[in-house]
């Protein structure tokens, strides 16, 4: 009976992760509320690992949806062969830009991730980050209204702009900013269209989230933390649900930004900031 209840909770965590990881609304802001009202019956060490590793399922959704863009062709490469095929050269160039873009967050994240969590993982910071980004999205989109959208194809993004988006991704170390929120915002400021900014944000997530999941899982194992059948089931269910929901969320966002601005997400962030601040600081604090 206990494991059944934990599985139900895990499904909810997977749904929240799958939605909030890709929409620029902060997974942290939602997970701290979910953890407060519906905590998993697991150890603190396992939960810290779980909330990172669950991103593995979400990141694999990107690979599944954008397989033709991200994977080189092994067949029908013509007389040029695998490495000289025009489509494969485009794919390799895109991946080289993705790798360049994730260097800042990889270097700074490895060095300061624990420090940021120790000093900034609190309701006040999360609420402030949610509100500030929400306001910036509203101001930026209002200023862009009626103007040329900019670069619309991710293949046309320069190395400099890719690196710029990667620098914005570093801001996601501050809880409440949102990884997708930071990179999409950076893309818009650097002259990308909404769809290109969102798509490149998804691509940057692949190495970032896969690396973070692997490191967190390795750290958990090396510390000798106990893991039982319930925890294994929770991990599998969480990743599976986050994958399925991520597919829906990514498709939704790509369709949404073709016709709408990010202003609704900005308004939502501000409302969520008020909720987080009101509960954790005014009521509970």
What 3-state class would DSSP assign to 192? Answer: strand
Residues of the chain below pLDDT 50? none
- Tell me the β-bridge partners of 192: 151
Enumerate the H helices of 21-54 as residue ranges: 27-37, 44-53
Q: ∠76-77-83 over CA atoms, to 5°? A: 150
pTM of the predicted model over 0.75: yes
Supply the pLDDT for residue 72.
84
Domain ranges of the chain: 2-283
Q: How do residues 227-280 score in pLDDT, each as one tens digit? A: 888 899 999 999 999 999 999 999 999 999 989 999 999 999 999 999 999 999
Supply the pLDDT for residue 139.
96
C-alpha to C-alpha distance for 239 and 243, rounded to whole angstroms: 6
Angle between helix axes 123-144 and 179-189 (nearest 10 degrees) is 30
Supply the pLDDT for residue 163.
97
CA atoms within 13 A on the CB side of 149: 13
C-alpha to C-alpha distance for 262 and 142, rounded to whole angstroms: 10
């Amino acid at each position: 009976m206990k494991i059944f209840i934990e599985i139900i909770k895990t499904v909810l965590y997977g749904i929240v992760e799958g939605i909030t990881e890709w929409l620029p609304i902060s997974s942290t802001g939602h997970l701290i509320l979910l953890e407060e009202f519906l905590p998993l019956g697991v150890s603190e060490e396992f939960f810290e690992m779980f909330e990172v590793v669950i991103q593995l399922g979400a990141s694999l959704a990107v690979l599944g949806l954008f397989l033709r863009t991200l994977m080189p062709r092994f067949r029908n490469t013509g007389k040029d062969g695998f490495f000289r095929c025009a489509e494969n050269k485009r794919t390799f160039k895109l991946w080289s830009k993705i790798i360049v873009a994730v260097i800042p967050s990889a270097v700074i994240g490895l060095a300061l991730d624990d420090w940021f969590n120790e000093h900034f993982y609190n309701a006040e910071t999360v609420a402030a980050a949610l509100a500030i980004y929400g306001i910036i999205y509203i101001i930026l989109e209002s200023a862009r209204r009626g103007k040329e959208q900019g670069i619309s194809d991710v293949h046309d993004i320069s190395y400099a702009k890719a690196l710029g988006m990667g620098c914005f991704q570093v801001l996601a170390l501050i809880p409440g900013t949102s990884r997708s929120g930071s990179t999409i915002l950076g893309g818009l400021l650097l002259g990308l269209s909404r769809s290109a900014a969102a798509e490149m944000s998804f691509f940057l997530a692949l190495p970032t989230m896969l690396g973070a999941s692997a490191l967190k899982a390795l750290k958990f194992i090396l510390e000798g933390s106990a893991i039982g059948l319930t925890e294994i089931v929770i991990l599998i269910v969480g990743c599976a649900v986050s994958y399925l929901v991520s597919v829906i969320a990514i498709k939704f966002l790509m369709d949404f930004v073709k016709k709408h601005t990010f202003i609704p997400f900005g308004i939502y962030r501000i409302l969520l900031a008020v909720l987080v601040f009101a509960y954790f600081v005014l009521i509970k604090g």
